[in-house]
A and B are shown apart, each in its own frame.
Chain A
């Protein structure tokens, strides 16, 4: 198992290298000048040039590139141009918020999505099924910022159940969770819509397979068949979706963070883009891509846990 993970990570190295290169180039091609954002609009061209030299932005591109790649391979992503702090520190500072939100959304998505999907599959083409399908389609169709605004208007402003600012300035756990509710529900419901759909279609497929039919024919009760046989196999595509959802989750979390004013990786990256904080932008993109690779590996490993037929031999 450990060897497998190592090998998968090693296999991801070329991809990550390519990502590094693309990221480096992409970031340099974006117009705008980090020195200007640091010095402000009254700075003279001379002052800007001096700062660019100090930041090392005037060196040839390939020099900057090799420096960046070698440092990145050593795990050093450099310092933010704007704050001067190590990028890792900046990321670690907001990571808990991102993890809170992502996990909460995953939990909400699974709690609602999986049972609903199974329920709908077992009542195929009946009223419940239609309602679930249309409901989940509707969920998929909501732009996350639109649903976020509606949630804010209704629950924060009208009913005042939850605060507007989706993050706490105190260390109080209860407060932290309280403020997490709306953003997590916003992301989680959309996630639930995805999971419902995938669970439903996976269940339908598994329920149609021979061994399930055989089990039914042998007189195994329907509930047992569903829970013991079908669900286990249906969960594989569901796990895949949860893994694949990461990309969407990141995009949606940027918007959610904006609407609910939460700190998080998504907002950091948008901020870095606005400030032309090249190292920050590079570092974050690399971290994102690395994260996606890790999630893919985790997804594959989860298959093994769910489905004993997939052997790690």
Chain B
């Protein structure tokens, strides 16, 4: 599955001189919403890191007597069907959302990026074949693919990361391939070959750094998608194993209790919304900052 962002034309982005960073920052800075994204995302990262310190209760300790209590001074977000504190679970749940999204996008970036880079660099029939394979991957709806992969491997953290990464490999391959094709025709790459540089050196030292920025920007936007896919899989019931708190899993449990205890789904739902929103704003700002068309003005 590809978010709309993925199709924006980045094929002809010329490599940038270093001062572009400064200009990019200026563009990023001009867009106030990007800063909101940075701050909110930073806050969520901090929340995840400090979860043991700031969460008021143990997120997995049950108290059957105190189950399904509405929000109160004692439990700000109420308690769930096992009497666990929802606020604490929302706080701890941020860890899974962040770990899964960051790790899966990192894997997708690494694998997809490598495939795109190599495929674009080699070109010819190999490229055609690899891209055909990527098209095959792309033609599976990502949630369905995630479902099958998780059903296949069993739902745990690592498999979830694999499943989500797999859905993002093809788009990243495409994102990395387009500029590679342009870059490999550039004279400095030819110069490297004329100088007897190995292909590995050319790809890693001369091509990769020139497309890293775009790929990383797409990464931040895709992270938002990854958070959503993780939550969706958890919502369908194929998430990280209990009692580990995850936002999607909490909504799933809460959805079944929606009439008795709407707070069970509302708070983790808002948490997902805020994180995805922050990531989208952040990625948006970053993209404006690296998009030469917007910067040109």
Cβ-defined contact, B144 with A269, below 8 A: yes
State whether A288 touches B142 (Cβ < 8 A).
no
Q: CB-defined interface of B131-175 with A at 8 Å, one 1/0 digit per residue?
A: 011011011111110011001101000000000000000000000
Asked whether any CB of chain A lies closer than 8 Å to the CB of B281, the reply is yes
Query: How far is it, in angstroms, between the C-alpha of A259 and the C-alpha of B132 when the chains are bound?
Result: 35
Hey, which chain A residues are within 8 Å of B151, CB to CB? 30-32, 273
Do the beta carbons of A141 and B276 come within 8 Å of each other? yes
Task: Please report the C-alpha to C-alpha distance between residue A141 and residue B133 in the assembled complex, in whole angstroms.
Answer: 30
B4 and A15 within 8 A (CB): no
Q: How far is the CA of A31 from the CA of B33 in the complex (A)?
A: 46
Partner of B136, one of A18, A30, A208, A237: A18
For residue A258, which residues in chain B have a CB less than 8 angstroms away from its CB? 236
A93 to B8, CA, bound (A): 37
Task: Verify A255–B235 contact, CB threshold 8 A.
Answer: yes
Separation of A248 and B228 alpha carbons in the complex (Å): 11
The answer, yes or no, to whether A142 is at the interface (CB within 8 Å) is yes
B258, A240: Cβ atoms closer than 8 Å: no
A31–B1 CB distance below 8 A: no
* B262 in the interface (beta carbon within 8 A): yes
Which chain B residues lie closer than 8 Å to A293 at the CB level?
Answer: 139
Interface of B is mostly: helix
Residue of A nearest to B133 (CB): A18
Q: A241-B7, A244-B2 are in contact. Are A19 and B272 (CB under 8 A)?
A: no
For the residues of A in contact with B, the DSSP-based class is helix
Docked Cα-Cα span, A268 to B34, in Å, equals 40
CB distance from B289 to the nearest CB of A (A): 14
* In contact, B7 and A244 (Cβ under 8 angstroms): yes
Q: Give chain B nearest CB distance to A120 CB in angstroms.
A: 14
CB pair B251–A146 under 8 Å, yes or no, is: yes
CB distance from B12 to the nearest CB of A (A): 13
Across-interface contacts of A244 in B (CB, < 8 A): 2, 4, 6-7
Q: When the two chains form their complex, are residues B4 and A197 in contact, meaning their CB atoms are under 8 A apart?
A: yes
**Neighbouring A residues of B8 by C-beta, 8 Å:** 201, 237
Quick one: which of A140, A146, A240, A270 has the most chain B CB within 10 A?
A146
Is B109 at the interface (CB under 8 A from chain A)? no
Rounded to whole Å, the gap between the CB of B107 and the closest CB of chain A is 19
Check if B231 is an interface residue, CB within 8 A of chain A. yes
**Contact status B148-A273, CB under 8 Å:** yes
B132 contacts A285, C-beta separation under 8 Å: no
Query: Is there contact, CB below 8 Å, between B135 and A15?
Result: yes
List the A side residues contacting B139 at CB < 8 Å. Answer: 15, 19, 288-289, 292-293
Q: Mark A227-259, 1 if CB is under 8 A from B, else 0.
A: 000000000010011001101101110110011
Chain B contacts for A240, CB-based, 8 A: 7
For the complex formed, measure the closest distance between the CB of B187 and the CB atoms of chain A, giving whole angstroms. 29
* A37 shortest CB reach to chain B, Å: 13
* Any A CB within 8 A of the CB of B265: yes
Interface contacts beyond A26-B152, A251-B141: sample of 18 additional A-B pairs, CB < 8 Å, sorted by A: A18-B132, A19-B139, A27-B148, A31-B154, A137-B280, A138-B273, A141-B280, A142-B276, A143-B269, A143-B273, A146-B251, A146-B265, A150-B269, A153-B258, A194-B4, A241-B7, A244-B4, A248-B142
The 5 closest A-B pairs by CB, nearest first: A251-B143, A250-B141, A141-B276, A141-B277, A146-B269
- Between-chain CB contacts (< 8 Å), 15 pairs: A14-B132, A15-B136, A138-B273, A141-B277, A143-B251, A143-B276, A149-B269, A241-B7, A245-B4, A250-B144, A251-B141, A255-B236, A288-B140, A289-B140, A292-B138
